[in-house]
């Protein structure tokens, strides 16, 4: 039974005697995370107390974990990645393999299991990186959901701004999808892999009374098996939260810049006013000039703050976290579990360093500038409309 698990990934245990348990009700999409589990009270037959005392329990436990991972990897390769190049046929299991587990030669056991573990783990990671374009998906999520594709995001913001100012219940998904496609064609995103672009989509969140389009609009990225083992629902939810924050921050920068341009234009109009042209209103205009000047200073400071905040997130947080992730994948990643853990650390690091989680949650404080901006924008529009 042990040999078949290691070299074939097969588990035939009608009497529940093996230390690996299988939940047959689990679907293929959750094979890695939920289908197989260890019965910690049932060790393989070749391991006894004397052997454990001789070589150390930590080494024994490491071997057990490797054995568990080997069979699980073979099943993932076969059923999730649809590849069977590593799976041995029953007739291929030669006698020396069988004898390895019948005697207490821990050195031989360890070397055989190490070799099988390395081979299966490497094959699994190669399949994900090659056949299933894992790194392309990592890059796409960074470019689109973490706003790394600047020209694409700017076009999207310019095109959607006016429409998203309307009540959320007036939005139509097909219109937003059309704008998304236009943003792709108008930016360097058009050169991305069509298979990657096909996963990029628009999503509308649940609408609450009083919501604007800004409150419910988000980008989405569809993942399926086997890459959804890395990009789990929990991970995709984190990407969604990060996108919403960065998108909202981009909205503030976009609208403040528009307000600044409008105020500068209006200020120039006031600058050419003379008492000869407007002898009646000139005194009143002079009275508000200091207030207008102070308003421009406030808007300038707000824009500066938003630029600094954007710089911090895009470079100090996102880029540094990305470099750490890529370095780990290229130099330290040994199996699928370590890859999943690295991805989790990557997302958790972004939310933690970005003060977006737990006791450090300062999102409301960061985005409270929106409330100030809305009042200021309203007054700015009224002021700009006066003649």
332-345 pLDDT tens trace = 999 999 999 999 99
Confidence of residue 90 (pLDDT cuts 50, 70, 90): very low
- High-pLDDT (> 90) share of the chain, %: 50
Report, as an integer, the average pLDDT of 310-314.
90
Domain boundaries, given as residue ranges, for the chain: 2-129, 134-385
Query: SS3 sequence, 352-383?
Result: HHCCCCHHHCCHHHHHCHHHHHHHHHHHHHHH
97-113 pLDDT tens trace = 545 555 556 667 778 88
Inter-CA distances, 210 with 99, 129, 206, 241, 376, Å? 72, 45, 12, 21, 20
Report, as an integer, the average pLDDT of 136-150.
97
* Secondary structure of residue 199 in the 3-state scheme: coil
271-311 pLDDT tens trace = 554 444 555 455 556 677 777 778 788 888 888 888 898 89
CATH 1.20.120.1900 is the classification of domain 134-385: yes
pLDDT of res. 381: 59
Q: Are 177 and 160 in contact (CB under 8 A)?
A: no
Whole-number Å distance between alpha carbons of 70 and 72: 5
Whole-number Å distance between alpha carbons of 216 and 155: 19
């Amino acid at each position: 039974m042990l040999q078949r698990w290691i070299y074939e990934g097969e588990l035939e245990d009608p009497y529940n005697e093996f230390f690996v348990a299988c939940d047959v009700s689990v679907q293929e999409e959750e094979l890695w995370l939920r289908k197989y589990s260890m019965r910690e009270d049932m060790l393989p037959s070749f391991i006894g107390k004397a052997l454990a005392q001789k070589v150390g329990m930590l080494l024994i436990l490491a071997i057990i974990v490797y054995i568990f991972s080997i069979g699980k990897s073979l099943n993932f390769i076969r059923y999730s990645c649809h590849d069977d190049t590593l799976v041995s046929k029953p007739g291929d299991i030669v006698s020396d393999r069988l004898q390895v587990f019948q005697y207490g030669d821990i050195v031989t056991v360890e070397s055989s299991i190490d070799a099988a573990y390395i081979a299966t783990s490497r094959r699994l990671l190669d399949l994900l990186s090659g056949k299933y374009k894992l790194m392309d998906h990592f890059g796409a999520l960074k470019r689109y959901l973490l706003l790394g594709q600047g020209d694409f995001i700017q076009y999207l913001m310019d095109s959607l701004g006016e429409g998203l100012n309307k009540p959320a219940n007036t939005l139509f998904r097909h219109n937003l999808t059309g704008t998304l496609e236009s943003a792709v064609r108008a930016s360097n995103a058009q050169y991305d892999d069509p298979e990657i672009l096909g996963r990029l989509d628009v999503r509308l969140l649940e609408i609450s009374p009083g919501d604007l389009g800004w409150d419910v609009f988000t980008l989405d990225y569809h993942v399926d098996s086997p890459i959804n083992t890395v990009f789990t629902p929990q991970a995709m939810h984190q990407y969604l939260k990060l996108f919403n924050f960065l998108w909202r921050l981009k909205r503030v920068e976009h609208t403040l810049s528009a307000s600044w341009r409008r105020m500068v234009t209006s200020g120039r109009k006031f600058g050419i006013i003379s008492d000869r042209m407007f002898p009646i209103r000139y005194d009143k205009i002079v009275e508000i000039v200091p207030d207008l000047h102070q308003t421009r200073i406030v808007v300038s400071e707000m824009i500066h703050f938003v630029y600094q905040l954007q710089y911090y997130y895009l470079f100090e947080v996102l880029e540094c976290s990305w470099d750490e992730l890529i370095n780990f994948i290229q130099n330290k990643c040994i199996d699928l579990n370590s890859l999943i853990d690295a991805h989790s650390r990557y997302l958790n690091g972004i939310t933690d360093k970005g003060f977006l989680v737990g006791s450090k949650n300062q999102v409301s404080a960061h985005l409270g500038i929106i409330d100030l901006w809305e009042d200021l924008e309203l007054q700015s529009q009224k002021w700009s409309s006066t003649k």
